[in-house]
């Protein structure tokens, strides 16, 4: 996990520097607003299904019930797709309002909407859950690093081709698609029969009591986390202009190294706590909780 995020941290400094210096303050601010709006909408409709897969799938995996696990995974993927479709409708309204507020051209508004559609449809949370359920953190870290590597390569190509806003939007959109492909290809190799046929998805809630409540809680948590990041960037842009939004986004992203480090520990601890709970090992569970509190 540290290797993947460490590489991403280094590359993010480079591609952000390329974007800011190539686009200029005002255009980079517009790029930031488009990116943050799409990410804010994605967080608003996301259910963090990787947590659902780990939380409820661990018991099925421990008991050897492959059918129930497969139905759970398909249910989570359906949540991802449903949320993405809802997000597309919300993004259309949000970007239309932003076009009117900032005076964007019709071409730019369509480009922003196209980027939002690609970002929302590049669902991968369920695939992340499959990898973490099977303790394949190294594989997941490799798939996650595709985002930073693709953005880095895309930023270089964009600069080489003239460094337009459209070029950077294409680069970031391509990174989202490639990352999703990386996760799903990895998940298919780790658990080739995880999805199976789509029949029986409706049985998942009955087989996993409390799943809707857990999904709602993870959605609220995702929205609150986004409120301190993407929503804040959009708010800064609406109140003070695109240039200020770009500067705020850059400063905020560079200041989040410690928060990301804590997030890495949480990603590894959550599956272990779930496994201890599923196996009814209270002593091990208490030890993991104490260790998590220290982290």
User: Which of these, 140, 142, 145, lies nearest to 50 by C-alpha position?
Assistant: 140
**Chain segment 56-111, per-residue pLDDT in tens:** 988 888 888 888 888 899 999 999 999 999 999 999 999 999 999 889 999 999 99
Cα 60 to chain centroid distance, Å, stands at 25
Based on C-alpha coordinates, what's the Rg of the chain?
A: 20
pTM over 0.85: no
Model confidence pLDDT, tens digit, residues 187-221: 999 888 877 677 778 888 888 898 998 888 888 87
Q: Which residue has the tokens 């932003």?
A: 98
Contact (CB, 8 A) for 172 and 115: yes
Examine the pLDDT at 4 and tell me if it is beyond 90: no
Give backbone dihedrals phi and psi of 200, rounded to 5 degrees, phi first: 90, 5
Closest Cα to residue 210, out of 63, 51, 64? Answer: 51
Contact in structure between 264 and 2 (CB atoms under 8 Å): yes
Q: How buried is residue 151: exposed, middle or buried, by Cβ count under 10 Å (0-12/13-18/19+)?
A: buried
């Amino acid at each position: 996990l540290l290797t993947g995020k460490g590489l991403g941290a280094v590359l993010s400094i480079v591609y952000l520097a390329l974007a800011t210096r190539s686009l200029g303050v005002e255009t980079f601010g517009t790029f930031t607003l488009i990116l943050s709006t799409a990410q804010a909408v994605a967080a608003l409709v996301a259910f963090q299904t990787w947590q659902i897969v780990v939380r409820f799938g661990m018991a099925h995996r421990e008991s050897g019930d492959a059918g129930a696990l497969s139905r759970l995974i398909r249910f989570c993927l359906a949540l991802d797709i449903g949320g993405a479709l809802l997000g597309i409708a919300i993004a259309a309204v949000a970007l239309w309002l932003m076009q009117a507020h900032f005076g964007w051209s019709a071409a730019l508004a369509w480009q922003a909407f196209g980027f939002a559609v690609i970002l929302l449809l590049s669902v991968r949370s369920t695939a992340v859950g499959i990898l973490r359920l099977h303790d394949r953190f190294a594989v997941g870290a490799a798939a996650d690093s595709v985002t930073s590597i693709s953005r880095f390569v895309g930023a270089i190509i964009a600069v080489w081709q003239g460094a337009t806003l459209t070029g950077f939007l294409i680069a970031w959109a391509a990174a989202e698609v490639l990352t999703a492909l990386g996760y799903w290809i990895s998940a298919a190799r780790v658990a080739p029969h995880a999805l199976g046929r789509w029949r029986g998805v409706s049985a998942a809630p009955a087989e996993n009591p409390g799943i809707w409540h857990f999904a709602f809680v993870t959605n609220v948590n995702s929205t609150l986390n986004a409120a301190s990041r993407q929503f804040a960037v959009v708010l800064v842009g609406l109140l003070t202009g695109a240039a200020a939004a770009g500067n705020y986004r850059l400063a905020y992203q560079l200041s989040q190294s410690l928060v990301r480090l804590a997030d890495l520990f949480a990603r590894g601890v959550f599956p272990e706590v779930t496994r201890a709970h599923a196996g009814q090992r209270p002593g091990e569970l208490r030890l993991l909780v104490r260790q998590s509190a220290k982290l």
